[in-house]
Structure 1
Amino acid sequence: MWFLYALTVVAGLANAIQPGQNATLAKSLGLPITAGLITLLVSTTALLVGGFATGKLVVPNAQQITAVPWWAWAGGLLSVLLILAQLYASPAIGAASFLGIIVTVGVCASIAFDHFGLIGFPVHPASLWRVLGAVLMVVGVGLVAVF
């Protein structure tokens, strides 16, 4: 289990670094959409290499494909939205405001997803303390954005 927490910490660090990398790529090329496509191609290549190297890259069968809920196929579209925000918004509003907003909105939405058991998550009630934590995050991001 510790490995999963360590992986999450490293992913959080990557989440803070990636907007700057992507925005710099877009600025250097002068082509934001091309930079976004390059980012996705690098991601795809990394997943292919990692999947082949570990032997975990398997083509799903028809039964597996049809068992997937329709909305689960849209994850790639949401990745594009995140990359576009990194390319256009992060340079304009700064790293701290950008990441603070991304994380805070994610936590607030996740509390609702957990509370109602949406998009595949088990029900985890939105207690007063969880909601208070989200409110404090909103206040914190507001302070970071203003100052």
Structure 2
Amino acid sequence: MWYLYGVVLLAGIANAIQPGQNAALAKGFSQPITAGLVVGITTATTVLVVGLVTGRLSWPSSGGMASIPWWGWFGGVFGGGIVITQLLIAREIGAGAFLGLLVTAGVVTSVLLDHFGWVGFAVHPATPWRILGGILMVGGVALVALF
């Protein structure tokens, strides 16, 4: 189970590197959004290859599809929004500020999602310690962005 934390740490490192890669890709196109299509195609290809190699790729049954909440189908919209933000904004504000804002907004939002059990998450109350952690992240990002 602990190895999963290592995998998430690697994903965090990739999350810090990806905006620079995407911004460099966007710079090579006459329109930066075109780079988003390249990112989407390579993302889909990566998911397909990993799914095929691991044997964890299957289409749900009609009953399974019907049980998915309507909002469950729109995760890709948020992913596309993140990629577009990387393409258009990351280079302008810098890696530290960009990722700091992205992660901090995600953590603060996650505390709310956990507290109320929204979008399928189990309820984890927003304790004073969790709230303090979110506040400290906001303060830390302010320092990274300002200095």
- Fold shared by both chains (TM-score > 0.5): yes
Corresponding residue for 2:23?
Answer: 23
- Where does structure 1 lack aligned partners over 5 or more consecutive residues? none
Question: In structure 1, how many angstroms separate the alpha carbons of the residues matched to 2:50 and 2:107?
Answer: 29
Report deviation, 1:96: 0.1
Report deviation, 1:86: 0.4
Report % sequence identity: 51
Report deviation, 1:117: 0.7
Moved over 2 A (4+): none
- 1:29 alignment partner, SS class: coil
Report deviation, 1:5: 0.5
Corresponding residue for 2:139?
Answer: 139
Question: In structure 2, how many angstroms separate the alpha carbons of the residues matched to 1:49 and 1:141?
Answer: 36
Report deviation, 1:60: 1.2
- 2:124 alignment partner, SS class: coil
CA RMSD of aligned residues (A): 0.8
Report deviation, 1:42: 0.2
Once the two structures are superposed, residues 25-82 of structure 1 have per-residue CA deviations (whole angstroms, 9 ceiling, x without a partner) of: 0002232111001001001011111111122111111011000000111100000000
- Where does structure 2 lack aligned partners over 5 or more consecutive residues? none
Corresponding residue for 1:105?
Answer: 105
Alignment of 1:1-147 (within 5 A): 1-147=1-147
Report deviation, 1:22: 0.3
Question: In structure 1, how many angstroms separate the alpha carbons of the residues matched to 2:21 and 2:128?
Answer: 38
Once the two structures are superposed, residues 75-110 of structure 1 have per-residue CA deviations (whole angstroms, 9 ceiling, x without a partner) of: 000000000110011011000000000000000000
Which stretch shifts more, 35-44 or 51-60?
51-60
| TM-score, normalisation: structure 1 | 0.97
Question: In structure 1, how many angstroms separate the alpha carbons of the residues matched to 2:136 and 2:87?
Answer: 28
